[in-house]
Structure 1
Amino acid sequence: MINQNPKRSDEPVWWSLFGAGGTWFAMITPITIFVLGIMAPLGILDADALSYDRVFSFATHIIGALFVIATIALPIWHAMHRVHHGMHDLKIHTGVVGKVLCYIIAFALSAIATIFIFMLG
């Protein structure tokens, strides 16, 4: 018999943030590291390309601000979801308290990043 009133789960929300964070971290972060950590120090990029004024104007433009926020926030959500499920795998059963704590940490760090980025402009 099919349950006509199934219990709603909040897991799709957390899994979507986990998936988005993992995808961002796997696809965008290596390019960012390559450009900022390898190309810039080796002088492959023009010195003007990463001047303070250009980086500041990028970070204060809405698209740049969203990029910076996503680069910070999405991997944090991915990591905290992984910590939450990793504790369960390690037989550290914290229940709802551990879940709420993990997601509050992710939310707080995301909010702090967002506030700092929007305070620049």
Structure 2
Amino acid sequence: MNSSIDTNSLLLQLRAMARDAGIPSTDKPSSELTLGADRIEFSKVLENSVQQVNGRSIEATQLRESFEAGNPNVELADVMIAAQKARISFEALTQVRNKMVAAYKEIMSMPL
């Protein structure tokens, strides 16, 4: 069984998720991302993604509560769309976490 990770595929998936999360992309090669004054830290990107997923969840909850309270300005369709956005965002974040754990396990199992 071959459990190697295709790094190019993983990088493309992460870039697509970052774009969907509203994180601006850069066209610089990865070697330039870690050098210079405009250094992008992975932890900050991950933190921003978690905050955006949390924000979508809070927004969906607030819309649901407003609809349940009888607010005439809140449509059922808006509530359902916000709930689906929150669910999909959470699932995407979960997939990123799963990929990171798999990559970590693969690195840890490499012989020295």
Fold equivalence (TM over 0.5): no
TM-score by length of 2: 0.36
Flag the structure with more relative contact order, 1 or 2, with Cα contacts below 8 A and sequence separation at least 6: 1
The structure carrying a bigger helix percent of its residues is 1
